[in-house]
Amino acid sequence: MLHKIIKRGGRKPSSKSEANEGAVFSSGYAAPFHNPRQASSVVSVNHASRAASASAVPAAGAVAPAPAAAPAIEALPLFRDVPAGERQALFLRKLQICSVVFDFSDTLRSAREKEAKRQTLQELVDFVQSGSSGRLSEPVQEELVRMVATNIFRALPPAAHENTGSPESADPEEEDPYLDPTWPHLQIVYELLLRYVISSDTDTKVAKRYIDHSFVLRLLDLFDSEDPREREYLKTILHRIYGKFMVHRPFIRKAINNIFYRFIFETERHSGIGELLEILGSIINGFALPMKEEHKLFLVRALIPLHKPKCIAMYHQQLAYCITQFVEKDYKLADTVIRGLLKYWPVTNCGKEVLFLGELEEVLEATQPAEFQRCMVPLFKQIGRCLNSSHFQVAERALFLWNNDHIVSLIAQNRNVIFPIIFEALERNMQGHWNQAVHGLTANVRKMFLDMDNDLFEECQRQFIEKESNAKALEEQRELTWKRLEEMVEINAAAPDEMVLVS
């Protein structure tokens, strides 16, 4: 509860081209809003009467200035009440009304004006969605983008760990999502921007003058918003911009790269990594073949290192999809991906290990025999360690790999190399793993190897027994040496004037 109260108290400054890559985003945007028929006309703000807000702190003994008065308003007609030729001029005036930003920390203050603005925004959305606006003139488009920027580009509230000063505050997955009090207006502004971007009447040659690199960069900064509703809109809008404005595509990819770099190597804190990866999943799906070197570098330098942060569970599903898309696009990348997973394999985090094993199965399913052979030795050494994990979910998930027919086929083709690596782990599970489910699954895998190649199984069993015997003899020799050393110490302690040497 303290985190929630603190979040709402402070503000922080915002921190921060290929034709076939514009695949349509799989998850659609929010449904348009339908406001009830309004009984009265929409009102507009008289900007000349807006009082200036005093930002300075009053001196000691001085009378504090009165709160800024609510803006004066003037009535404007509805679109259906004016001739078609005058509607764009009316549209422009309504956009100017909606450029007024209200303070939502006090819900009762300027309530009538806030409602008037909300109704005006809704009318603008309905007007653009209906298509009755036709092709918007350039001044109207400029004002529309300016109004959107005025409303959405703002300081985001600080996260809980920024208020407490602790780099390791509560688990982000367990925190309640922060809901922005300005959302009733922001949602309609985002809907208007989305309708403008996807409209067939929007000329990209004109629109790109206002939805430029600066606008896109500030849009990306907002992905750090803790409000999931805002991130969902941002995801849809940015993907539509990527699809419609081909000139922005390299810039958007590079900007997302930079967000990932900062997240991985500096902060490990960002609310929108999952949404950005969802966008990239669709973009990667549209990459042309042969794949550009730029895209392969992005995989190696940004996507694979995203396995490093502790909070990977928050975005792992989207990350695994992006990684798998790369391997399905170019099967030769399988070796690079698998070795990258092994590089960042967790040592003490069992939850991450389970996620890695699930992702590994998806990658192996798209792996061809030649690439499998390049990485199978280090891969199955790691799988062997997972089989012997005392955490039953890790051991169980590793054994589930043998339920995949494609992986079993790859193992069978290379059993002479893989079976000796994995046999010892299987035998140790059979001898002493505490979990009965793991014991049963191990028995099934062991029987699978026996049926696959009986001679190889017997040879591996012979080598294992010989190794165990040698290890037991070595242990007995070690214990004998320690016993002799202890006897020597006892004799020397009993006769301190005489030094006894034990050969």
Domain ranges of the chain: 19-46+70-164+176-283, 287-407
Q: What is the mean pLDDT of residues 419-424?
A: 94
- Let me know: does 100 contact 108? Beta carbons within 8 Å: no
CA distances from 274 to 21, 117, 311, 359 (A): 20, 32, 11, 16
What pLDDT is stored for residue 97 in this prediction? 87
Count of CB atoms within 10 A of residue 40's CB?
9
Q: Is the pLDDT of residue 52 over 60?
A: no
Torsion angle, CA of 98/100/101/107, rounded to 10 degrees? -80
Bond before 369 cis per omega within 30 degrees: no
Segment 292-322, tens digit of pLDDT? 999 999 999 999 999 999 999 999 999 999 9
Segment 170-195, tens digit of pLDDT? 555 556 778 888 898 899 999 999 99
Least confident of 80-89, 202-211, 234-243, 440-449: 80-89
Segment 5-40, tens digit of pLDDT? 444 444 444 443 444 444 433 334 333 333 433 333
The residues pairing with 80 across neighbouring beta strands, listed in sequence order, are: none
Q: What is the mean pLDDT of residues 465-479?
A: 88
What pLDDT is stored for residue 258 in this prediction? 96
What pLDDT is stored for residue 335 in this prediction? 96
Q: Give residue 169's pLDDT band: very low, low, confident or very high (50, 70, 90).
A: very low
By percentage, how much of the chain surpasses pLDDT 70?
A: 80
Q: Is the pLDDT of residue 375 over 90?
A: yes
What pLDDT is stored for residue 6 in this prediction? 41
- Please tell me the distance from the alpha carbon of residue 73 to that of residue 46, in angstroms, as a whole number: 5
Q: Is the pLDDT of residue 324 over 70?
A: yes
Q: How far apart are the first and last CA of the chain?
A: 71
What pLDDT is stored for residue 38 in this prediction? 37
What pLDDT is stored for residue 174 in this prediction? 58
**Higher-scoring residue by pLDDT: 110, 449:** 449
The winner for highest mean pLDDT among 45-59, 226-240, 461-475 is: 226-240
**Higher-scoring residue by pLDDT: 15, 401:** 401
Q: Give residue 428's pLDDT band: very low, low, confident or very high (50, 70, 90).
A: very high
- Please tell me the distance from the alpha carbon of residue 323 to that of residue 308, in angstroms, as a whole number: 14
Count of CB atoms within 10 A of residue 228's CB?
14
Across all residues in the chain, what is the average pLDDT?
A: 83
Segment 334-363, tens digit of pLDDT? 999 999 999 999 999 999 999 999 999 999
- Please tell me the distance from the alpha carbon of residue 442 to that of residue 431, in angstroms, as a whole number: 11
Report if pTM > 0.85. Answer: no
What pLDDT is stored for residue 20 in this prediction? 47
Helix, strand, coil percentages in the chain from 3-state DSSP, rounded to 5: 65, 0, 30
Q: Give residue 435's pLDDT band: very low, low, confident or very high (50, 70, 90).
A: very high
CATH class of 19-46+70-164+176-283: mainly alpha
- Please tell me the distance from the alpha carbon of residue 53 to that of residue 176, in angstroms, as a whole number: 34
- Please tell me the distance from the alpha carbon of residue 83 to that of residue 473, in angstroms, as a whole number: 101
**75 DSSP assignment:** E
Q: Give residue 457's pLDDT band: very low, low, confident or very high (50, 70, 90).
A: very high
Instruction: Using the CB atoms, write b or e for 247-264: b if 16+ within 10 Å.
Output: ebbebbbebbbebbeebb
Instruction: Using the CB atoms, write b or e for 89-128: b if 16+ within 10 Å.
Output: ebbbebbebbbbebebeeeeebeebbebbbbbbbbbbbbb
Q: Is the dihedral of CA 187, 223, 282, 239 positive or negative?
A: positive
What pLDDT is stored for residue 495 in this prediction? 72
Give the list of residues 6+ apart from residue 483 with CB closer than 8 angstroms, or none: none
